[in-house]
Structure 1
């Protein structure tokens, strides 16, 4: 199932309690909301596995989850029934039967994110939950050139949070671009997987290059140095959208999540 959500007001994707238990720790989680809606349609508790967990305030246009459900529900019923039980900030976009060995996380070969920055003197009013804001002029072309130093399989220790639980920091960054659309600068990035806060930390290190405070070679130096303490700050969560995972064609999923 593909899930679209506005992450504002949620404490992230991952459920903080056991399946079916109410969340008593503050803001709700996206996983708990999706499982509750699916459970209503299924008539029994449902547990989902996602392609990539997102942090508090991060959005998704195509999060993919898998679950085991009763065979007598058709895809349209799952999609519409689940959406009818979800809050306005979340919807199920589509649902497709998959092979028993499909896994939303482990079957994915890549994941893609977009980070959007409003680059003008005045903060945003409209779409503010989907945009970061930088008042100083940014040179998007310089940021793009600097970002190319990150391509390939590398140790991304300079761009992982100290709270990251991944066993190692090696990731294969397959694509990164920085483009400008009027007063919005977009950073798009695709990798086989991401470390905790990796995209936001890369953006935070690209901003000094865009402002002219650091040379274009700085990203390569940070990568080689593997020292998080000298890299840029973590960019705010509001500008980040998980565009979705990418799966091999044999998984039979829609083109937007296929390699």
Structure 2
């Protein structure tokens, strides 16, 4: 049967999601446990997409196939008791045999977190990016974000080494939230899909608007230039969370 799981992980100690020779990755850890459960048989997992080193997930989606017949509601426990503590299976369900975690995804939501506290807590250092001395103008960031909504060529907001032919994506929403109790600024962005480093480059560029290194009006020009050099710096990985993957039907 084919199983779909929603997983969460702390990306701090991983070299990203995807298996890489000699490195600790999320995919490697989950496949190790599945191999143990299947008595030495290799079971491959497929994710909705990759995340980079340091990036976290609260709602990543994977699928895998298994010949085992024990109840679906036992899978989460069976995996969690053997997985390292920085990965957790949140839920598992049986899906149709043609379901594909990557190809059937119709949208994703990411969250980016900055800490606005004067002193960055050591307990948050891997989970938010310290604003340091800066006090961003959030209204300017929100205004600038409106220029990115809709369907565009996002070449300017994509890592230069990306090997894709189509740079057109659709962004549905970008919203900024201030969490007073935690002194955090959070950007929540949803879209049809995202290019390599696209969310982090958008976060970095809008941050530069917030600290007035770039103007609100510059965003449209950056977008139309299709030139990565025109956009802002890529925001650090540890502020980013894959929050939700959407599927049709």
Shorter-normalised TM range? over 0.9
The corresponding residue for 2:147 is 149
Structure 2 residue corresponding to 1:28, chosen from 17, 24, 43: 24
Matched, 1:13 2:17: yes
Q: What is the alpha-carbon distance in structure 2 between the residues aligned to residue 203 and residue 91 of structure 1?
A: 27
Alignment of 1:19-168 (within 5 A): 23=21, 25=22, 27-43=23-39, 44-135=41-132, 136-168=134-166
Deviations 1:137-174 (A, max 9, x none): 01112101100110111000111001212222111111
The corresponding residue for 1:211 is 211
Contact residue 31 and residue 48 of structure 1 kept, 8 A: yes
The corresponding residue for 1:20 is none
Deviations 1:163-189 (A, max 9, x none): 212222111111111222223111111
What TM-score, normalized by structure 1, do the two folds share? 0.89
Note the C-alpha offset of 1:39. 2.0
Is there any run of 5+ residues in structure 1 with no aligned partner, and where?
17-22, 251-259
Deviations 1:2-38 (A, max 9, x none): 111001111100112xxxxxx5x2x301101011112
Matched, 1:197 2:197: yes
Note the C-alpha offset of 1:71. 4.2
Contact residue 118 and residue 132 of structure 1 kept, 8 A: yes
Contact residue 144 and residue 179 of structure 1 kept, 8 A: no
Structure 2 residue corresponding to 1:181, chosen from 176, 179, 182: 179
Q: What is the alpha-carbon distance in structure 1 between the residues aligned to residue 14 and residue 158 of structure 2?
A: 22
The corresponding residue for 1:4 is 8
Q: What is the alpha-carbon distance in structure 2 between the residues aligned to residue 127 and residue 177 of structure 1?
A: 22
Please give the secondary structure, in 2, of the residue aligned with 1:57: coil
Please give the secondary structure, in 1, of the residue aligned with 2:105: coil
Please give the secondary structure, in 2, of the residue aligned with 1:223: helix
Q: What is the alpha-carbon distance in structure 2 between the residues aligned to residue 130 and residue 166 of structure 1?
A: 30
How much is the aligned-residue C-alpha RMSD, in angstroms? 1.3
Q: What is the alpha-carbon distance in structure 1 between the residues aligned to residue 192 and residue 27 of structure 2?
A: 23
Matched, 1:172 2:162: no
Is there any run of 5+ residues in structure 2 with no aligned partner, and where?
none
Q: What is the alpha-carbon distance in structure 2 between the residues aligned to residue 185 and residue 89 of structure 1?
A: 24
Q: What is the alpha-carbon distance in structure 2 between the residues aligned to residue 245 and residue 120 of structure 1?
A: 30
Please give the secondary structure, in 1, of the residue aligned with 2:65: coil
More strand by share: 2
Please give the secondary structure, in 2, of the residue aligned with 1:31: helix
Q: What is the alpha-carbon distance in structure 2 between the residues aligned to residue 39 and residue 46 of structure 1?
A: 6
What TM-score, normalized by structure 2, do the two folds share? 0.93
Q: What is the alpha-carbon distance in structure 2 between the residues aligned to residue 60 and residue 188 of structure 1?
A: 14
Task: Note closer, same or farther for the CA distance 1:218–1:121 as it changes in structure 2 (3 Å cut).
Answer: farther
